[in-house]
Amino acid sequence: LINCLIHFYKRDFVMSGTYYFVIVGHNDNPLFEVEFSSSGREVRKDDHRHLNQFIAHAALDLVDEHMLRTPNMYLKIVDKFNEWFVSAFVTASRQRFIMLHDLKNEDGIKSFFSEMYETYIKQVMNPFYSINTPIKSVHFEKKAQFYGRKFLTG
Amino acid sequence: MSRPATRLTDTKKVSGELFSLTYGALVAQIVKDYQSVEDVNKQLEKMGYNVGVRIIEDFLARTKEGKCADFRETAEKVQAAFKLYLNMSPTVTSWSAASDQFSLVFEANPIAEFVELPDNYADLQYSNILCGAIRGALEMVHIEVAAWFAQDNLKGDSVTELRVKFIRKVEDTVPAGDD
C-alpha cells in the first residue's frame, strides 16, 4: 500500500521528460504555448500552465541578459526553478523561445528550437500574420507536435 | 526609340520570394482597406485586368506569333505566358465539349507560397489578380472570357485550378483606358 502511495506521489510531482515550450513576444506576451510529456498520460494544461507561465516570465530578465552577452541564438540553460530547468533561444528579431524541462536534453532541445525557428520564419512570411500576435495556425501547431515527438519525448 | 528585335535574356530579374512577399503585403493591405471579402476579390480582379491589358503587348512583342486559329491555340498561348512571366508551368486540361472552356492546373502556386488564409477570409480569392490578367489580356486581342478559380491550394484542395471560359469575340474596338 505504501509503495502504491509513493508511486502515486511520484506520478503527480516528479514528471520525468516533461517539457513546456513558449514563444514570448516583445511585450512579454505569450505568442504560442505547448506542452509535451514522455510519460504518455494526458497533460492537464490548466493545472500547471499558470506555474509554467510564471517560471518562464521570471526567467525573461535572465534571457535578456544572456542574449546581450553572446552572439549565439541558442542560450542553453539560463535559469533553474526547483526541478525545472529553463533553456532559451533568441531569434534574429529578438523573439524569445523558452523551454521549461526537468531533464537535461540539450541536443534534443537545441534541435527542437532550430526546427521551430524555421517554422516560425515561415509563419512570419504569411502576409496575414502580424508579428507579436498569438499564433493560431493549425500548421504551426502540427509542426510543434511533430518536432516535440521527434526531439523531446521520442 | 525602337525596341531591339530579340531580347535574349532579361537581366532585370527579381527574386520570386520578394515578389510573393510584395503581393502578399498588397493583398493584406487591401483586405484591411475594404470591409467585405467580395470587394477585395473584385479589387484584385480589377488590378489584374489593368496588368493584363498592358502585358499583352509585351507578350506579343516577345513571341511574335500570329493570330490564334481557335480557342485551343489561345489556351496554349496563355500557358506560355505563365511560363514566361511567372516561371509557372500549368497544364491545360478539362476541355469542355464545345472547346470553349479549359482549365489551367497548377501543382503549386508560387505567389501564395507562405500564405495561410485566416478563417474569416475563407472566401478570399487570393490569386484573383491572375484571373483579371487573363481577362484583360485576352480582351485586348478581342476575345471576351471569364476566368475564375475552381480549386485553390489555400482552401485545402490538392491543386490550384484556374478555369477560363470563352464568352464571345469582341467586334468593336476596346478603349485602352483604365477600368
Nearest-CA distance A125 → chain B (Å): 6
Nearest-CA distance A145 → chain B (Å): 19
List strand residue ranges (DSSP E) for B124-170, in order. 143-151, 160-169
Ranges of chain A whose pLDDT falls below 70: 1-16, 40-47
Element of type H or E holding B171: none
CB B103 within 8 A of CB B94: yes
CB B53 within 8 A of CB B131: no
CB B116 within 8 A of CB B28: no
ipTM for the predicted complex? 0.77
Distance CA B161, CA A16 (A): 50
Q: How would you class A99 by CB atoms within 10 Å of its CB: exposed for 0-12, middle for 13-18, buried for 19 or more?
A: buried
CB–CB contact B27 A137 (8 Å): no
- Give whole-number Cα distances, B103 to B81, B96, B166, in Å: 15, 9, 12
For residue B116, list chain A residues with Cβ-Cβ distance below 8 A. Answer: 126, 128-129, 137, 139
pLDDT per residue as tens digits for the range B5-51: 445 456 577 888 899 999 999 999 999 999 899 999 999 999 999 99
For residue A127, list chain B residues with Cβ-Cβ distance below 8 A. Answer: 21, 24-25, 27-28, 114-115
Angle between helices B37-63 and B71-86 (to 10 degrees): 100
pLDDT of residue A30: 93
**Reported pTM:** 0.79
Which percentage of chain A shows pLDDT scores above 70? 84
